[in-house]
């Protein structure tokens, strides 16, 4: 009994040492995230070079510490003993991340970080000047380095799979293809049916919408749905995002345009959905690998839930339309609530993903996914991306892309080497639709609550079922545990068909 007692203490000590070591790694990750946040919000242009080096140094130290033999020995020691479920999950996540890091040489990590900083600067200029040529050599270099990563990590089918698993564990190009195919087919068909119907009136949206008022209204909605502003803030940035430096400091960025009332609002609500997830992890999981989403797809299910399913629903505007009218006095007096609801749900293929409607959005994603697979299967060269991009936009969305700024230069992701990232947006929509069907069964009064502006029980449901769980389960497992179904696009297709049949009357 004494012996057992001592063995248990020894195991606890190893685990506690791991917590302390990883706690510092987590601190460094948070520091690094703040440097990136600042890079995209407030950093003056001439700070870029030094910032790149600072980020490279931090990621070098994180890598060094993640791959240190000390940590390896402790993980082996701790894993040898009896563990609680949470401890086992902690070690599983840490080991996975550690193995990923171990397989990458430090020099490659550092080079990637430097190249990505340069590629980001080049992308910014290229997009501004509509000059893909500025970006192309940097993109080629980033892809080359990412291929090297994939070789280090190993993969069963295509190098893309090795990259995608950073965002969605175990995802493969062929699995995505099989999940996306029925969605793409249903969506293209739905789009044709919608195109045959008369379009809703949106002319009243072509007004000047005061940016301060937009910001106030957006922040009001963010607060109402449950964003804790004592643990968050909103800033302006050219590309909206959410980041955090611990669950007590979760920030969002938004961009507002005077000519668009809805983009800024839905962007804000989208990032707020991400932010509330990060604010909702179990405080006991702070500085641990469990205080994270299991995947970007699950993360996106939260942002899309609030952005699309809540803030673009009829019930939501029953509550908020009178309030919105007060924020913009005189500008919406002649617009009936039904007219407004139709206008904000207008389906109209256009060039920019982040401004896309609920149906087209997934096609934007599917196009990027297909191009990425082409790049990493070796069927598509960097120089041919603009042409391939434009061809798919014509095929799926019926659009002639007028410029690369409105085409393949619109997204920052590839500059950051984030290949395998885009599909998680549509996986998010798929998970979200599955969760909503479950939520409707658990809370039959769901939409009445939304219509009364009561969001607390809804956030509470997400807290319990998704947020607090953190990274205890992998994404597909988590979604199946909560919804009782394996991952499928059927609920999403059902939702889209129901909603837009009703709106467009077919």
> How far is residue 251's CA from residue 243's CA, in Å, rounded to a whole number?
5
Q: How far is the CB of 291 from a second copy (least distance, A)?
A: 11
Q: Which is nearer to a second copy, 47 or 105 (CB)?
A: 47
Residues numbered 60-79 forming contacts with a second copy, rule: CB under 8 A? 60-61
**418 closest CA partner among 301, 298, 296, 303:** 296
Q: Which of 216, 270, 266 is nearest to 241 (CA)?
A: 270
Contact 350, 360 (CB under 8 A): yes
Among the listed ranges 21-29, 122-130, 394-402, 491-499, the one in contact with a second copy (CB under 8 A) is 21-29
50 touches a second copy by CB under 8 A: yes
- Tell me if 221 sits within 8 A of 268, measured CB to CB: yes
Binding part of the chain for a second copy, among 67-75, 121-129, 244-252, 484-492 by CB under 8 A, reads: 244-252
Q: Using alpha carbons only, give the angle 171, 163, 158 rounded to the nearest 5 degrees.
A: 75
Stretch binding a second copy (CB under 8 A), from 2-10, 47-55, 197-205, 374-382: 47-55
146: which 2 tokens? 């990412």
| Residue of 229, 352, 445, 485 interacting with a second copy (CB under 8 A) | 229
**Which of 3, 45, 198, 206 lies at the binding interface for a second copy (CB under 8 A)?**
45
The residues, any chain, with a CB within 8 Å of residue 461's CB and separated by 6 or more, are 439, 442, 443
37 vs 128: CA distance, rounded Å: 21
Strand partners, 235: 253
Out of 116, 168, 271, 372, the active site residue is 271
Q: Which residue stretch of 30-38, 187-195, 321-329, 469-477 sits at the interface with a second copy (rule: CB under 8 A)?
A: 30-38
Q: 32 or 87, CB closer to a second copy?
A: 32
Smaller CB separation from a second copy, 64 or 157: 64
Among 6, 7, 16, 38, binds a second copy (CB under 8 A): 38
Which CB sits closer to a second copy, 47 or 238?
47
Residue 506 near a second copy by CB under 8 A:
no
Which letter does DSSP use for residue 260 in this model? B
Measured CA to CA in angstroms, residue 53 lies from 48, 66, 112, 143 at distances of 9, 20, 12, 21
38 vs 395, beta carbon nearer a second copy? 38
In the complex, what is the shortest distance from the CB of residue 232 to a second copy, in angstroms, rounded to a whole number?
A: 6
Position among 10, 17, 19, 35 found at the interface with a second copy (CB under 8 A) = 35
233 binds a second copy (CB under 8 A): yes
Which of 6, 16, 47, 387 is close enough to bind a second copy by CB under 8 A? Answer: 47
Q: Of 23-31, 80-88, 257-265, 360-368, which segment contacts a second copy by CB under 8 A?
A: 23-31
Instruction: Kindly state whether residue 31 participates in binding a second copy, applying the rule CB under 8 A.
Output: yes
Contacts (CB under 8 A) with a second copy, residues 284-303: 286-287
Q: Please give the Cα distance from 475 to 482 (Å, whole number).
A: 11
Tokens 């434009």 locate to 390
Residue number with CB closer to a second copy (27 or 355): 27
**Cβ atoms within 10 A of the Cβ of 4, count?**
9
User: How far is it, in rounded angstroms, from Cα 307 to Cα 276?
Assistant: 12
Rounded to an integer, what distance in angstroms lies between the CA atom of residue 308 and that of residue 329? 25
370 is catalytic: no
- Least distance (Å) between residue 245 CB and a second copy: 6
- Applying CB under 8 A, among 24, 151, 157, 185 the residue interacting with a second copy is 24
**At which residue do the structure tokens 């990032």 appear?**
271
| Distance, first Cα to last Cα, the chain | 74
Nearer to a second copy, 41 or 202 (CB): 41
Q: How many Å apart are CA 140 and CA 417, to the nearest integer?
A: 10
Q: Which residues does 388 contact at the CB level (< 8 Å), separation at least 6?
A: 371, 374, 380
Q: Which residue, 231 or 412, has its beta carbon nearer to a second copy?
A: 231
97 by Cβ neighbours in 10 Å (0-12 / 13-18 / 19+) ranks as middle
Output the furthest CA–CA distance in the chain (Å, rounded). 81
Of 53, 211, 284, 336, the one binding a second copy by CB under 8 A: 53
Stretch that binds a second copy, among 143-151, 208-216, 247-255, 438-446 (CB under 8 A): 247-255
Residues present in the chain in total:
506
Cα 280 to Cα 260: distance, rounded to the nearest angstrom: 31
By CB under 8 A, tell whether 249 contacts a second copy: yes
Residues in binding contact with a second copy, number by CB under 8 A: 42
Say whether residue 281 binds a second copy (CB under 8 A): no
Binding site for a second copy (CB under 8 A): 23-24, 27-28, 30-32, 34-35, 38, 42-51, 53-54, 56-58, 60-61, 228-233, 235, 245-249, 251, 286-287
Among all residues, which ones are annotated catalytic? 271
């Amino acid at each position: 009994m004494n012996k057992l007692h001592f063995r248990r203490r020894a195991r606890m000590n190893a685990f506690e040492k791991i917590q302390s070591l990883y706690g510092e790694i987590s601190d460094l990750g948070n520091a690094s995230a703040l440097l990136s946040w600042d890079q995209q919000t407030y950093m003056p242009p001439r700070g870029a070079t030094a910032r790149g080096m600072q980020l490279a140094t931090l990621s070098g130290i994180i890598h060094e510490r993640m791959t240190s033999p000390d940590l390896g020995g402790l993980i082996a020691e701790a894993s040898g003993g009896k563990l609680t479920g949470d401890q086992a999950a902690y070690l599983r996540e840490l080991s996975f991340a550690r193995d990923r890091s171990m397989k990458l040489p430090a020099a490659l990590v550092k080079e990637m970080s430097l190249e990505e900083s340069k590629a980001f600067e080049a992308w910014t200029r290229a997009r501004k000047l509509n000059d893909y040529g500025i970006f192309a050599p940097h993109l080629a270099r980033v892809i080359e380095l990412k291929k090297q990563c994939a070789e280090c990590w190993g993969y069963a089918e295509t190098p893309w799979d090795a990259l995608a698993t950073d965002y969605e564990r175990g995802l493969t190009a062929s699995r995505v293809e099989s999940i996306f195919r029925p969605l793409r087919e249903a969506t293209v068909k739905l789009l044709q049916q919608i195109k045959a119907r008369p379009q809703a009136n949106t002319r009243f949206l072509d007004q000047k919408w005061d940016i301060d008022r937009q910001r106030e209204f957006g922040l009001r909605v963010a607060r109402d749905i449950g964003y804790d502003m004592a643990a968050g803030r909103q800033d302006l940035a050219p590309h909206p995002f959410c980041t955090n430096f611990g669950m007590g400091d979760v920030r969002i960025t938004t961009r507002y345009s005077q000519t668009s009332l809805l983009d800024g609002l839905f962007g804000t609500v989208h990032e707020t959905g991400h932010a509330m997830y990060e604010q909702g992890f179990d405080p006991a999981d702070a500085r641990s690998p469990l205080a994270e989403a299991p995947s970007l797809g699950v993360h996106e299910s939260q942002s899309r839930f609030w952005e699309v399913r809540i803030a673009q629903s009829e019930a939501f505007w029953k509550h908020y339309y009178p309030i919105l009218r007060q924020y913009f006095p005189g500008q919406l007096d002649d617009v009936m609530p039904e007219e407004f609801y139709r206008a904000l749900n207008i389906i109209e293929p256009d060039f920019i993903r982040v401004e896309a409607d609920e149906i087209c959005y997934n096609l934007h994603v599917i196009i990027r996914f297909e191009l990425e697979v082409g790049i990493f299967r070796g069927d598509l060269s960097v120089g041919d991306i603009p042409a391939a991009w434009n061809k798919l936009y014509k095929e799926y969305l019926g659009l002639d892309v007028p410029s690369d700024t409105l085409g393949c230069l619109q997204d920052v992701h590839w500059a950051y080497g984030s290949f395998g990232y885009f599909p998680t947006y549509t996986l998010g929509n798929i998970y979200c639709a599955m969760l909503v069907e479950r939520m409707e069964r658990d809370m039959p009064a769901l939409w009445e609550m939304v219509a009364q502006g009561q969001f607390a029980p809804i956030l509470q449901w997400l807290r319990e079922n998704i947020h607090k769980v953190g990274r205890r389960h992998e994404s597909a497992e988590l979604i199946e545990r909560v919804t009782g179904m394996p991952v499928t696009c059927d609920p999403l297709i059902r939702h889209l068909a129901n909603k837009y049949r009703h709106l467009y009357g077919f």
